[in-house]
Amino acid sequence: MDRPWVVAHRGSSSEVAEHTARAYEKAIEQGADAVECDVRLTRDGHLVCVHDPTLSRTSDGRGRVSERTLGELQNLDFSGWRTELPEAADDLIADAPVEALPVLAFDDLLDLVVSAPRPLRLFVETKHPTRFGGLVEEQVVASLAQHGLHGLHEPADPLRSPITVMSFATTAVRRVHSLAPNLPTVQLYATVPPLRRDGTLPRGIDIVGVDMDVLRRHPAYVRRVHRQGNRCYVWTVDDPADVELALVLGVEGIITNRPAMVRDLIEAA
């Protein structure tokens, strides 16, 4: 495909509480090519879609995700999404949503992806560091296999595979490649290390995902990535000017909280 994929970051998370089933359903309705999630392990070994290590920003709970069981998390309300904590309790009351939304287990998200009315890709980010170490990647690969989403293509082909696994931790990316060499993997960078500014990536990885600020400051980086035969995805792209820049630079994937807006801008370009 000539245009970049529109990847809904934690679902259509500018409109609906992030990482909830409702956010992903909205993204599908809005025509996203792919949806993205972060996964963490609960105390009893279940994968859940939660970005932060703690619960306070995205739910009415407190404490660490890794110290709660899935059952305990299911008793919390994850509809209170906000980009940052309010300064006063009155703000919490004023912004309180009407409908409670539960935590989304990774297996339930996979069910949603498999049953989508059209082909849908899933980008999975494993969060590190974690006290569970490599168990996170092992559980991800096992869940994908249970849903028939593992072992579909050999070797890894990002254009054909419905699943892509990402991490900021190179050890985690390599772990996924070792467990499932057919799965495309992405090395994430908030800032590109000096050694990698020429567009190269760690051995065995051929896709990079970078912060939009990298492209604003160093637009030539995308060209260097492509010269090395690698692909480039960018996050999190919510401003029309950034969408335009990403299109001009030729990235292959745009990860956004506003999939409807990005899709409209791409179609109008």
* Residue 133 pLDDT level (bands cut at 50, 70, 90): confident
Marked catalytic residue, from 46, 51, 150, 177: 51
pLDDT in tens, 141-190: 999 999 998 765 666 788 889 999 999 999 999 999 999 999 999 999 99
Host H or E run for residue 22: helix 21-29
Average pLDDT in the chain:
92
pLDDT of residue 93: 47
Confirm whether 150 is a catalytic residue.
no
Between residues 21 and 98, the one the model is more confident about: 21
The yes-or-no answer on residue 218 being catalytic is no
- Can you state the angle between helices 135-146 and 106-114, rounded to 10 degrees? 30
Query: Which is more confidently placed, 129 or 60?
Result: 60
Q: Which CATH architecture has domain 5-53+104-268?
A: Alpha-Beta Barrel (3.20)
Domain ranges of the chain: 5-53+104-268
Find the catalytic residue in 9, 19, 46, 150: 9
The confidence score (pLDDT) of residue 87 equals 57
30-89 per-position pLDDT tens digit: 999 999 999 999 999 999 999 999 999 999 999 999 999 999 999 999 997 554 445 555
Residue with tokens 């297996």: 107
Asked if residues 43 and 68 have their Cβ atoms less than 8 Å apart, the reply is: yes
Q: Residue 95 pLDDT more than 80? A: no
Q: What is the mean pLDDT of residues 202-215?
A: 97
Residue 204: pLDDT above 80?
yes
For the chain, the helix, strand and coil percentages under 3-state DSSP, each to the nearest 5: 35, 20, 50
